[in-house]
Amino acid sequence: MGIFGGTFDPIHHGHLVIAEQVADVLGLECVIFVPGGVPPHKDFASVKAPVEDRYAMVEAAVKGNGRFVVDRVEVDAGRAMYSVETVPLVKERYEGEEWFFVSGADEVSNLLSWRDPDGFLAEARMVAATRPGYDISNLDHLAAELKNFDRIVPVECTRVDISATTIRQMVADGKSVRYLVPEAVHEIIHDRGLYGAGDGVAVDARG
């Protein structure tokens, strides 16, 4: 079983590619996407879309993939949650023997800033999916500090150089983000006017 936590502000094809490829490589039955409230390590002002809109975009993005589901545990908590709290709650809600927490290489490098990283790694093995711009060939700083360092699992994925920050900026600048996100997510961004979409600038052929 895989748990994929993130802000998903918005979800994009970089997220979907690692979820699919990690599921394949590790033989996961299911990847549970857990869109978060405001994560403790992110600046509140950096999260731009309301949590229900981010949840709706994840739901739309995973539709049609039989291995992917979305969970509301962090949405309904109504507060910031640490992964060490979230993972046991998710594990109670689904049947599963072996648990992996899916994340990109940038998150893994930052693991020492997380709450109770060894406790977190005891709950789930952490997948370090390749991400352009982040090198995890040297994780000595983690190996020196963490008892459960051997529970970090690097997984080589197709590199997709997309970040949510770039997408938000492009939308705000009136540029098209079509094909960077699933079509259904693109529609939600424009229908709900997220990230400044439609603020007086023609963003795509629909105007």
- Enter the tokens of residue 190: 């424009």
Q: Which residues bind ligand ATP (CB under 6 A)?
A: 6-9, 14-15, 18, 103-104, 106-107, 129, 131, 160, 162-165
> What are the start-end ranges of the H helices in 3-160?
13-26, 51-62, 73-77, 83-93, 105-109, 117-123, 140-145
Query: Are residues 117 and 146 in contact, defined by beta-carbon separation less than 8 angstroms?
Result: yes
- Cα–Cα separations (whole angstroms), residue 16 to 12, 180, 182, 206: 7, 11, 9, 26
Q: Round to whole Å and give the CA distance between 197 and 191.
A: 9
State in angstroms the smallest separation of the CB of 207 from ligand ATP. Answer: 27
State in angstroms the smallest separation of the CB of 157 from ligand ATP. Answer: 7
State in angstroms the smallest separation of the CB of 202 from ligand ATP. Answer: 25
**Pick 2 or 200: Cβ nearer ligand ATP:** 2
State in angstroms the smallest separation of the CB of 161 from ligand ATP. Answer: 6
**Pick 58 or 146: Cβ nearer ligand ATP:** 58
**Pick 97 or 161: Cβ nearer ligand ATP:** 161
- Cα–Cα separations (whole angstroms), residue 94 to 29, 68, 87, 100, 171: 12, 13, 11, 13, 36
**Pick 132 or 206: Cβ nearer ligand ATP:** 132
State in angstroms the smallest separation of the CB of 76 from ligand ATP. Answer: 18
Which residue type does 10 have? P
**Pick 89 or 170: Cβ nearer ligand ATP:** 170
